[in-house]
Structure 1
Amino acid sequence: MAETINIAKMAEKISKGIFNEFFWGRMEHTNINWPCEKTEKHEVKTHPSDVVFWYDEPYSQSRAYINCDLKSYAKNSINAVNIREAIESLAKTINCAEVSQDFNDKYIHPDVSPNIQGMLFVYNHDNGYDKDFSKILDKVKCEDLDLPKGSKIIVFGPEDILWLNNVHHEIIHLRGGAGILPERDYCKFFYPPLIGRKNIQPEHAKAATLEMLTAPWIILSYTNPNNVNNKGYIVFMRKQGHTVDEFLYLIEYLVHHHVIRSEVKVTIRILEPHLNASANFSKAKDQYITDYEGGEEFKKILDSIDFGKIEHVRTNFCEMELSRQ
């Protein structure tokens, strides 16, 4: 019985540790079942909320509430049938949460515009899953899900969790052991103005959104507490750098949004860089200078970028680590 409880708690403990470093808030009530508002349609009496996270949206005045279904599966249980069943259940939960006074009373802050989303967190507790999780998702048909308009469900599989866990530990390392990052109060995730959109909550929207956590890179910005004009950026690049184009695309993005410029420290970290990643990064810098005539001064700025791999890569979660969270 104790072993079963420990396995069930793994996903909750891991999710708490990971998302805290991405500046997500966490509501107090966990592992709660609340009454279904559409019992005939949903064919259940209650819906579960394993944990509800929240953060302020950068490009709107709303606050995102992420209702999480935390699954802890052995490798043989990670299959299309179980994932489809979990997604269907989560969709019904989100649909009901939109109209549930009980959910509102437990989880929604007063005087905010809530944006309720779903997250399925699929943790492999025996660390034996070595297949392509995306192929399972490809088999799951989601066109008929009972989701409210504008809502979505994000699924984090074992590989996604591995990625996010390593990024969160690298942030801790860069703040502590490496001394590159200042304290949390001087850090926030980077949301540049987009075409027709701007970050309208710059003081509140500091968290990494679901969209950022599923993007090709995660960008954390920081300010030197002793000099507010001295800024820096940490770019966590998910791709491994197989090609020059991967880096060229990143450089173009960073230049376009004024991340790469003089007197700004830019650090790029990759979880598992390809053997030729460093060489491809150098070629991408040279190509960018050639294509856009950046000149010698701009070449010095590009060459000053701190490029390297994530330190102390973690491939699993030991029991001691879990017990501390």
Structure 2
Amino acid sequence: MAETEKIAQMAEILSNDLFSEFFWQKSGTTNHNWTCENQEKHGNKTHPSDVVFYYDEPYSQSRTYINCDLKSYAKGTIKAAAIKDAIESLAKQVSCAEKSPEWNQLYIHDHVTPEICGLLFVYNHDGEYDKDFSNVLSNVKADQLDIPRGSKIVVLGPKDIFWLDNIRYDLCILRGKSGSDKIPNGDQCRFFYPQLIRKTNVQIEKAKAATLEMLVGPWIILEYKKENSRKGFIIYYKRKGETTEEFIYLIDYLRHYQVLSDDTDIQIRTLDTAPIAAATFKKAVDRYIEEMTESNEESDFSKLVRNIKFSTMPQVISTFSEVEIGMDL
């Protein structure tokens, strides 16, 4: 039993370190059981909340609360049946949390409009899982889950967690650097949400965190303040980088939302891209400049595009010692 508890703690430790880097905050108590609001249907007297995180939404006057189920598995124990059971259980938790006075009293701030969702965090603690996790999820039918309309459940599998953990590690490295690549501490940073045509960023000062949608999206963009009134942007790019078209789409996104400017430094950081991704990016830059300016000649615009840095970040795998966790080091 003690060994099982230590393994479970690994996911708790990693999730805390990981999501704090994306500016999520904890609410209420951890590892708490609260009364089920539909015991006859759910077959439970209580539901668990391993941890509840929250962040403010950029495009609405609301605060998202994420009820998390943290799982830590060895390679051979990530099975479809166990994951299906965990998702179904999490759906029941979210369903009850929406109407539970007890859950609301424990976790919801009384001055905000809450949005409640669920997160299944599937951490592979031995770092050896190499299968397609989507196959594990294939038997889960979303329309059969007991989840309120408008609510959502997100599953972060081993590969997703590996990607996010490497971003966390990379940000720590960049904060310790000197020179132009150095980034400031968190109070000078925010995740980037542009002003959209039909969606205005209504909480610019408060909504600094990366939303769940951003964390599972094709890229994560961090904006930060530099010295001498300059700004910096880091685009953590998740796609493979196999075609010029995908990079042209990204560059055009940066231009369209006015990230490209002469007072801004931009770098694209990748992890598991195609071997020729850097060369493909350079070709995309050349093609984009030609299509936008109808010329190969150097211009202010071409300098902005060519100044975008493209690099690969180091790969790491977070591991934990059961002995150290047991000693509470």
Q: How many residues align?
A: 322
2:128 counterpart residue number: 128
1:300 counterpart residue number: 303
SS at match of 1:314: coil
Quickly say closer, same or farther: Cα 1:254–1:321, change in 2 above 3 A. Answer: farther
1:166-205 residue pairs with structure 2 within 5 A?
166-178=166-178, 180-205=182-207
* Counterpart amino acid of residue 230 in structure 2: N
1:309 is aligned to 2:317: no
SS at match of 2:316: coil
SS at match of 2:144: coil
2:159 counterpart residue number: 159
d(CA) in 2 for partners of 1:243, 1:322: 45
d(CA) in 2 for partners of 1:121, 1:127: 15
1:252 counterpart residue number: 252
Name whichever of 159-168 and 265-274 sits farther off. 265-274
d(CA) in 2 for partners of 1:211, 1:322: 34
d(CA) in 2 for partners of 1:152, 1:60: 17
1:18 is aligned to 2:21: no
Contact kept? 2:190, 2:224, Cα under 8 Å: yes
* Counterpart amino acid of residue 189 in structure 1: F
Which consecutive unaligned segments of at least 5 residues does structure 2 have? none
d(CA) in 2 for partners of 1:218, 1:76: 31
Correspondence for 2:321 among 291, 296, 319: 319
Correspondence for 1:218 among 213, 217, 220: 220
> Alpha-carbon deviations, 1:163-191, whole Å to 9, x = none?
00000111111111355211211100000
* Counterpart amino acid of residue 303 in structure 2: K
Contact kept? 1:13, 1:322, Cα under 8 Å: no
Please state how far the C-alpha of 1:322 moved relative to its aligned partner.
7.9
d(CA) in 2 for partners of 1:132, 1:169: 24
Task: Please report the TM-score for the alignment, with normalisation by the length of structure 2.
Answer: 0.93
SS at match of 1:70: strand
Please state how far the C-alpha of 1:148 moved relative to its aligned partner.
0.9
d(CA) in 2 for partners of 1:164, 1:185: 20
1:35 counterpart residue number: 35
> Alpha-carbon deviations, 1:13-55, whole Å to 9, x = none?
1100000000000124111000001111111000110000000
Quickly say closer, same or farther: Cα 1:173–1:101, change in 2 above 3 A. Answer: same
1:208 counterpart residue number: 210
SS at match of 2:123: strand
d(CA) in 2 for partners of 1:27, 1:21: 16
Quickly say closer, same or farther: Cα 1:260–1:294, change in 2 above 3 A. Answer: farther
1:74-153 residue pairs with structure 2 within 5 A?
74-153=74-153
Please state how far the C-alpha of 1:127 moved relative to its aligned partner.
2.1
* Counterpart amino acid of residue 307 in structure 2: S
1:264 counterpart residue number: 264
Contact kept? 2:10, 2:320, Cα under 8 Å: no
SS at match of 1:139: coil
SS at match of 2:86: helix
d(CA) in 1 for partners of 2:238, 2:183: 20
Quickly say closer, same or farther: Cα 1:322–1:10, change in 2 above 3 A. Answer: farther
Which consecutive unaligned segments of at least 5 residues does structure 1 have? none
Please state how far the C-alpha of 1:294 moved relative to its aligned partner.
6.9
> Alpha-carbon deviations, 1:213-272, whole Å to 9, x = none?
000000000112x44x42110100011312212211111111111112222100110012
d(CA) in 2 for partners of 1:139, 1:195: 38
SS at match of 1:143: helix
Please state how far the C-alpha of 1:69 moved relative to its aligned partner.
0.4
* Counterpart amino acid of residue 115 in structure 2: N
Quickly say closer, same or farther: Cα 1:279–1:23, change in 2 above 3 A. Answer: same
Name whichever of 68-77 and 181-190 sits farther off. 68-77
Instruction: Work out the percentage of aligned pairs sharing the same amino acid.
Output: 52
Quickly say closer, same or farther: Cα 1:150–1:286, change in 2 above 3 A. Answer: same
RMSD: 1.8
